[in-house]
Amino acid sequence: MDSPNNRDGTPRKSRGRPRGWKKSAGQNTIKSLDRAMEIFEHLSEHSGKTLTTLATELDQAPATLYRVLVTLEARRLVEFDKVEQVWHIGPRAFVIGSKFLRRTSLVERARPIMRRLMETTGETANLGIVQEASVLFVSQVETQASIRAFFPPGTLSPLHASGIGKALLSEMPQDRVNRIARAAGLERFTENTLTTSEDLWTDLEKARARGHAIDNEEKNLGMKCIAAPVFDVYGEAAAGISVSGPTSRMTSSRTTEIAGAVMEAAANLSVALGGAVPIRTPS
């Protein structure tokens, strides 16, 4: 444990807190700020709520809650939908979150790997993480082709109808997948969307066995995505990396080639994060 004194015995100066600081939460917290952060965190997990609903869920007076929301709105941490009359998490929250991701090296370390993946395949490379029942796209390297996939950072896509989403789901136990499916629902977007838990789990088992997942026009007709999970130091799937493009270029004959490039990119990023790709045992 570090000593509170310097080597010569003199008291060490505090650099991260003021003099006289004591380890007392009651003494050092700002109640109004703490209340605002409670509201902000609740809205981040339960976006799209009316003022009345939020007041009930948080047991807060509507007038007090409204002042907090307006203050957060001025910082673009939350935003108000005037048509639906509901509050959502704001774009500034993603900007701040992105800075944290850069701190943890995920986006920073992924960029050169994604660029090589885009150059190798000729298609757009994407990086995403799980956000509740969705994939949150946190980085993208676009191809220069005129027709291309576009998922700007901050875009959300349902897990069950996304290449990255299914790659990440394939590393989860079946009971967790079923809970997500029940809570979020398996919305149909095209005739190829997997809308039952049984069909989804069968597809996920195949994805896990081969090391990559395929979104074959399951979210958007004419678009295909091949994705693989990225593993952290704990051996957990922390993110997913993918290649997306039109089916006219991402043909069945190119699936093996593109999948190999995607899995190699995912493995390289896993190693860069201190993780390792698990050894697959054929069933």
Give the model confidence (pLDDT) of 155-214 as tens digits. 888 999 999 999 999 999 999 999 988 888 899 999 999 999 999 999 999 999 999 999
Domains 26-89 and 102-272 share a fold: no
pLDDT for 282 beyond 50: no
Give the three-state DSSP class for 86: strand
pLDDT at 50: 94
pLDDT at 243: 96
Q: Where are the domains of the chain?
A: 26-89, 102-272
Tell me the one-letter amino acid at 253.
S
150 or 67: which leads in pLDDT: 67
> Which of 3.30.450.40, 3.50.50.60, 3.90.1300.10, 3.40.50.720 would CATH assign to domain 102-272?
3.30.450.40
**Architecture of the structural domain at 26-89:** Orthogonal Bundle (1.10)
Q: Which residues fall within 8 angstroms of residue 61, CB to CB, at 6 or more apart?
A: 55
pTM over 0.85: no
Q: Which residues fall within 8 angstroms of residue 141, CB to CB, at 6 or more apart?
A: 111, 114, 115, 117, 118, 124, 125
> DSSP E strands: which ranges in the chain?
78-81, 86-89, 124-131, 134-141, 156-158, 213-216, 223-231, 237-246
